[in-house]
Amino acid sequence: MAFFFSDTLPSEASYSRLVQKLSETTILEKIQKKVVLQANNEKFINDDVVAIDATHFESRDRGHAQEKQPKQEPKKRGRKSKAEKEMYDMQKKEQEAQKSLYEKTIADQLDATLEDLRSQVPVKPDWGIKKNSEGKNVFWFGYKAHLVVGTKSQYILGSLMSSGSLNDGKAAIPLLKGIQSLLPKPLRYGIMDAGYDYVPIYQQIMRMNANAIIAYNKRNEGEMIGFDSNFAPTCVREFSYRYDSYDTKYKTLKYVRPIECKGCPLAHDSLCQKVYKMKIETDCRKYTAPARGTQTLNKLFDQRTSVERVNAYLKEFFQLNNVRYRTGKRAKVHFDLVTLVYNASKLAVDRIRKELDDKKKTQKVVA
């Protein structure tokens, strides 16, 4: 907050009351949106590729021990009677109806409104777990910051703060739905790591007429016979077909013969197929445009480092790790201020850089 030198500084209690009032409104989110739209109007944001990632930061609240769940009574053996089955189904429906959107599956978020998705985000500090670079589990008590960043401009186009225990994948659809009105161009690609490899996230990106570039997360899946590790079809001699092109109209990947077919005795045999076409809808996790394993896809995936850099900037230079408030609502005020100051600082730097470039151009014209 800014104060004039002529004003008396507010007391700690006054500042605390201000933070409390801010925590009960969405004013900081609205200001954040205005800053992004302003940068968009001044043509500093020209992105059609976005990257999504999450980072953790600790809470000021003291971590509590996780409650031990009581042992469940052994289930009655045998088939349920008709009355018991109806009672069981009714209880399951009631339990499912009482769950929030973030307690349900990710697929339930597809048809939910953005307002409901943002209002039901759990912000209570909780224990989180992730694997570090050495493959060991790291625990923390606090929150997660979920960001969607333009890969070229590196502006934060959307942000979400949640409890530390929330699955990263459950924040992707709210972030994607929130940026549709902010991008100057139609979205082309959404880039994410393997933690977001869920079918509903692919479906949401496809609904936005874009393509998902998400690292594949193998989940106890056996080897596919007739396909290589990148899900490209293979010939009789187990050489991989080459990715050729993508048909946007029919959403189909085209694969052509391997290079090894030139000298193959089976090149003119009926066993050797010249062209393979695979629809993305066959399995949207395995078939993406461009196809998995290609240099084009790998170059696009490398742009995901933009959101990792922004995460590092927020922690190192904008005090994201230094939460000074207890409770999740107040910690969200801190998070919103951090992301707002980052975008406002970036807008100011871009304006100064543009002004300097304009001066250089005028000096060259005069000279």
pLDDT tens per residue across span 198-249? 999 999 999 999 999 999 998 878 788 889 989 999 988 888 999 999 999 9
CA angle 265, 267, 269 (to 5 degrees): 90
Across 77-81, 191-195, 326-330, least confident range:
77-81
Integer Cα distance of 287 and 177 in angstroms: 23
End-to-end CA gap in the chain:
45
- What's the pTM? 0.89
Class in CATH terms, 24-61+88-216+292-366? alpha beta
Supply the pLDDT for residue 44: 95
Q: How confident is the model at residue 5 (pLDDT cuts 50, 70, 90)?
A: low
Integer Cα distance of 13 and 243 in angstroms: 64
Integer Cα distance of 333 and 29 in angstroms: 10
Question: What are the beta bridge partners of residue 126?
Answer: 142
Is residue 66 scored above 80 in pLDDT?
Answer: no
Half-sphere exposure of 302 (CA within 13 A, CB side): 6
Element containing residue 315 per DSSP (H, E): helix 305-317
Integer Cα distance of 47 and 148 in angstroms: 12
Across 10-14, 153-157, 264-268, least confident range:
264-268
Integer Cα distance of 216 and 194 in angstroms: 6
Is residue 3 scored above 70 in pLDDT?
Answer: no
Q: How confident is the model at residue 15 (pLDDT cuts 50, 70, 90)?
A: confident
* Structure-block tokens of residue 214: 């998400």
For tokens 């509590």, the residue is 64
Average pLDDT value for residue range 340-360: 94
Q: Considering only CA atoms, give the Rg of the chain.
A: 26
Q: Are strands 252-256 and 156-163 parallel, antiparallel or unpaired?
A: unpaired
All CATH 3.30.420.10 domain ranges of the chain, comma separated, are: 24-61+88-216+292-366
pLDDT digits (tens, 9 = 90+) for 237-278: 888 999 999 999 999 999 998 888 877 877 777 778 889 999
Q: What percent of the chain has pLDDT over 70?
A: 97
DSSP three-state, residue 175: helix
The answer to whether 114 touches 177, Cβ cutoff 8 Å, is yes
Q: What percent of the chain has pLDDT over 90?
A: 61
Buried b (16+ CB within 10 A) or exposed e, 223-245: eeeeebeebbbbbeeeebbebee
DSSP three-state, residue 118: helix
Supply the pLDDT for residue 156: 97
